[in-house]
Amino acid sequence: MSFVSDYVLARLKYSSGMREAFGAEFELTAGYLNTASIGVPPVFAADALSEVVGRWRGGRIEATEFDDSVASARRDFARLVGVNPDRVAAGGSVGQLVGSVAAGLPEGSRVLVVQGEFTSVVFPFAVQHDRGVRVTEVVPERLFDALPGHDVVAVSLVQSGDGAVIDPARLRELAEEHGVRVLLDVSQAAGWMPLELDWADWVVGCGYKWLLSPRGVAWLAVGSRAFLPRPHGANWYAGRDPWQSLYGLPLRLADDARSLDSSPDWFAQVGAAAALRWLAGLDLAAVREHCLGLASALCSELGMSEPRSPVVSLETPEAASRLRTAGVRCAVRDGRTRVSFHLYNTFEDVRVLLDALRG
């Protein structure tokens, strides 16, 4: 296991029921390999959520106190993807935020996606068909060749189904050459992959996977050269001063991306603020090295090609049932068994998985 640096190993400690990873504790036993479906929060983030739920239960809470969590999570999502916080909108799901972009496209726009793309990226554009918006699917290998002749390309940086990675530098180069706007979904990338995506027109991502947050938080970063979508879901929290825009006209929305905010899931934002603050302060190059090292060890043992992401798709038909019987948490996506390694995973997880497959 020499390909994992001493730097990373020094930050990992495995014990029964509790793990320490990159300075944080996680309440995990061996075999949790399902971050691509739902991430596990650090103990301090879960504790922060429990504390506020406890105060809610006892009637010791004020609605305005959640504003700090919304602002904090917004800033740290911006740090994690390399954009300006003023260009980031806070929402509840990827589909909702992509829908704002899709609804703002001119009639007759031509949108390019890859086959097998996650539907929250594809459906919001496809539903605009009555306005003449045309969505074209191509196999991933043809994505770059197919860019000319399209107005927008919408793609996940890391594919949900099999962990395939789109080359962002190449995509940027070709999109700029052909005048194609770019929407990137980073739901399977942000949190383990270092990102600098201020060049993209729109960057969207959810919190409940690699960002280790509760479900109910997502963000949309709007590039400085992209149009700010019309806020079809305009609401009180999208106001210039939310607590002064509770009633009546005139329309007084925020002047920046906050005009796209949805009324926040308060408790989810508390967990997100805690988790993202920690993640944004990590050396993500070391996190990437750790995650890819574990995926590489698995692929090497199974005779598979070197992975480009921590998401590994296994073709073995009976793999899922074997793994679940052995207590390994995994998922089945597109007819294959999917496992995924995050910063809290260790080589113990690789061993448990291999023992289950070979048993």
pLDDT of 16? 52
- Helix intervals (H) in 164-222: 168-178
Q: How confident is the model at residue 41 (pLDDT cuts 50, 70, 90)?
A: very high
Q: How confident is the model at residue 317 (pLDDT cuts 50, 70, 90)?
A: low
Contacts of 260 (CB under 8 A, 6+ apart): 89, 91, 97, 100, 220, 222, 228, 229, 231, 233, 238
Mean pLDDT in residue range 78-82: 98
Q: How confident is the model at residue 321 (pLDDT cuts 50, 70, 90)?
A: confident
State how far the alpha carbon of 244 is from the alpha carbons of 71, 166, 236, 237, in Å: 17, 43, 9, 10
Q: What are phi and psi of 204, to 5 degrees?
A: -125, 145
CATH numbers and ranges of domains, the chain: 16-43+283-358 (3.90.1150.10), 65-281 (3.40.640.10)
pLDDT of residue 2 exceeding 60, the answer is no
pLDDT of 3? 36
Between 212 and 358, the more confident residue is 212
Q: Tell me what the pLDDT averaged over the chain comes to.
A: 94
Q: What is the pLDDT of residues 230-281, one digit of tens each?
A: 999 999 999 999 999 999 999 999 999 999 999 999 999 999 999 999 999 9
Give the integer Cα–Cα distance in Å for 188 and 284: 14
Q: What is the pLDDT of residues 281-310, one digit of tens each?
A: 999 999 999 999 999 999 999 999 999 999
- Do residues 282 and 56 make contact, with C-beta atoms less than 8 angstroms apart? no
Query: Nearest Cα to 73, choosing from 278, 272, 222?
Result: 272
Q: How confident is the model at residue 43 (pLDDT cuts 50, 70, 90)?
A: very high
Q: Is 342 exposed, middle or buried (0-12, 13-18, 19+ CB in 10 A)?
A: buried
pLDDT of residue 5 exceeding 70, the answer is no
Q: How confident is the model at residue 6 (pLDDT cuts 50, 70, 90)?
A: very low
